[in-house]
Amino acid sequence: MNDIITLNHGSGGKITHDLISGLFLKHFKNEKLNNLSDATVIEISSGQISFTTDGYVVEPIFFPGGNIGKLAVCGTVNDLAVSGAIPKYLSVSFIIEEGLSLKELEEIVKSMAAEAKFAGVEIVTGDTKVVNKGKCDKLFITTSGIGFIKKEFADIGIGSKVRNGDKIILNGTLGDHSIAILSSRESLKFETSIQSDCASLNHLIQKALDICPDISFMRDATRGGLGTVACELASKINLGIYLNEETIPVKESVQGICELFGFDPLFLANEGKLMMVVPPEKSDKILKILQSDKYGKEAAIIGEVTNENKSKVVINTISGGKRLLDMPAGAQLPRIC
């Protein structure tokens, strides 16, 4: 019975303490977490911070290219980074189903620690709850994050700096994460070499901000995909967004599966992709710096901001037509993040 999570692991008693020190502290080890108080005190040198939260309920919890833990760290790191912040501190809340194997939990915790190390963030506070078998689906994780943000970047996630003529850049292929998840579902398993693109993009973003501090807008294209990010941005600005489908990178294998299932890659979730809106005179320079990074090799300019079709997204399709892009009502795929 020692190799699975029991309700007692969430009791707050000795068994909880053993789990915290034997597993979480062991891998997340840092001075702040070691205090084990319910709140962690953090020194703030800059005058502004960025604050974010996300729940992760991906099914299955292990998938090609990652697991729910890596996903949670990357997702929160990316939410901070696209807001213009330097991600610094994460909190982690685990909701665990009774019966989860400790081995699986440790593998997840290890990959969270590794991803946090890569991203340069510390996991400084956390919580663990256990619910009875059948009352959650193995493991849900909610991560919150704090980053330091310079005053000049405070509007980068909002869209108020977007101007007519700005170029739209995407850092790589769409849909990989969704298709990787789909391929690993019990009910539907199929053979594919597609891996989730799950990655912390903060170092990539930092490189771009270093050479071009006047990036107009950034947003990671997660749930809802690139299409939703574009539609949301358009709805907030008094300008139009034009996308050129031909230039949008999609893997052939992903495109094939999308055709089979009737998915539109524009609206599939990604976990390592972001849309950047940049002043036109800087676009080539930014493109080059993105392409020089592991997570931006296939970066491309995929469209621009226009004075036409205000608050709308128009896409020039590969077949030669034009269509208005509209946010879908519901999901193509539930529980992909």
Which residues ranging from 220 to 279 are in contact with its own copies (CB under 8 A)?
A: 220, 222-224, 228, 267, 269
Question: If you search the block for the tokens 């992903």, which residue do you land on?
Answer: 254
Q: How far apart are CA 261 and CA 313, in angstroms?
A: 24
- Binder to its own copies among 30, 93, 195, 311 (CB under 8 A)? 93
Q: What are the start-end ranges of the E strands in 150-235?
A: 167-170, 217-220
| Residue 168 burial (CB count, 10 A) | 28
Asked whether position 71 contacts its own copies by CB under 8 A, the answer is no
Contacts of 100 (CB under 8 A, 6+ apart): 4, 5, 138, 139
- Binder to its own copies among 14, 252, 260, 321 (CB under 8 A)? 14
Stretch that binds its own copies, among 105-113, 144-152, 197-205, 312-320 (CB under 8 A): 144-152
- Structure-token pair, residue 87: 């991600």
- Binder to its own copies among 27, 55, 195, 203 (CB under 8 A)? 55
Number of residues this chain uses to bind its own copies (CB under 8 A):
85
267 vs 295 by CB, closer to its own copies: 267
Residues 156-215 that bind its own copies (CB under 8 A): 157-158
Asked whether position 147 contacts its own copies by CB under 8 A, the answer is yes
Asked whether position 102 contacts its own copies by CB under 8 A, the answer is no
- Binder to its own copies among 1, 3, 31, 41 (CB under 8 A)? 41
Asked whether position 130 contacts its own copies by CB under 8 A, the answer is yes
Q: How far apart are CA 301 and CA 336, in angstroms?
A: 27
- Binder to its own copies among 23, 114, 154, 289 (CB under 8 A)? 154
* Cis peptide upstream of residue 60 (ω within 30 degrees of 0): yes
Stretch that binds its own copies, among 202-210, 285-293, 302-310, 329-337 (CB under 8 A): 329-337
226 vs 305 by CB, closer to its own copies: 226
Instruction: Report the nearest approach of its own copies to the CB of residue 253 (Å).
Output: 24
Asked whether position 4 contacts its own copies by CB under 8 A, the answer is no
Say if residues 125 and 33 touch (Cβ distance below 8 Å).
yes
Instruction: Report the nearest approach of its own copies to the CB of residue 94 (Å).
Output: 7
309 forms beta bridges with none
Say if residues 266 and 226 touch (Cβ distance below 8 Å).
yes
Asked whether position 12 contacts its own copies by CB under 8 A, the answer is yes
Stretch that binds its own copies, among 37-45, 185-193, 281-289, 317-325 (CB under 8 A): 37-45
Q: How far apart are CA 328 and CA 129, in angstroms?
A: 34
Report the residue count for the chain.
337
Q: How far apart are CA 48 and CA 91, in angstroms?
A: 19
Cα-based distances in Å from 132 to 4, 10, 55, 100? 13, 10, 20, 11
